[in-house]
Amino acid sequence: MGYYIISCITGHEEQVLKATKRRLLKEVPLIAEKTDFLFPVRLIDEHWNGKWVEVKKPLIPSYFFVRSPEDLDQVADIISKVNDSLGFLTYKGEHKTALLKSKDMDYASWVFSNNGEIKKSKVILCPNQKVKVISGPLASLQGRILRVDKHQRKILVEIQIATNVVRVSLGAEFVTPTEAGTTQG
């Protein structure tokens, strides 16, 4: 199974994803039927009118993910003609498409394994501001936690996708070691 990332105009991800699916179904239906498209979102809490409300936000704005057993190099020109599509994300030195490699492929696989919906993680803040993720998608994510915002219930994480280092703000539920059923140490 191959994983790819398609870039598009920010705010148009879902429209470009749908238009890409339609165009591929029309022009290369055998490939389109075997291909999965995903615009990943993250669930976070936002404070609205004095209440915490769970909302969906783009995981990585301007990008959506593609999974296919087919080599998609043959459809790169078709996809580049979709309105607001910027084409496949590529590695330096490659031209039309880039089949994701190593950590990038692992990340895309992780996104698909979460069905593109990254839920909040449960986090324990230990003495000296160490952070321990005890459940949720961050428990298996390979990245670096840059900032913890208890007030906004978010964690800023740095991950690498292809040649880009991306910072993603993810929702977190902060619990004490007692609530988590663990002890500090």
Contact 125, 150 (CB under 8 A): yes
Q: Could you read off the pLDDT tens digit of each residue along the chain, which spans 185 residues?
A: 999 999 999 999 999 999 999 999 999 999 999 999 999 999 988 888 999 899 999 999 999 999 999 989 889 889 989 999 999 988 887 777 788 988 889 889 989 999 999 888 877 766 555 566 777 776 755 567 788 888 888 888 777 666 667 787 878 887 766 565 654 44
**Superfamily per CATH, domain 2-180:** NusG, N-terminal domain (3.30.70.940)
Task: Report how far residue 182's alpha carbon sits from residue 175's, in angstroms, rounded to the nearest whole number.
Answer: 11
How many angstroms separate the Cα of 104 from the Cα of each of 21, 99, 163?
23, 9, 9
Q: State pTM to two decimals.
A: 0.76
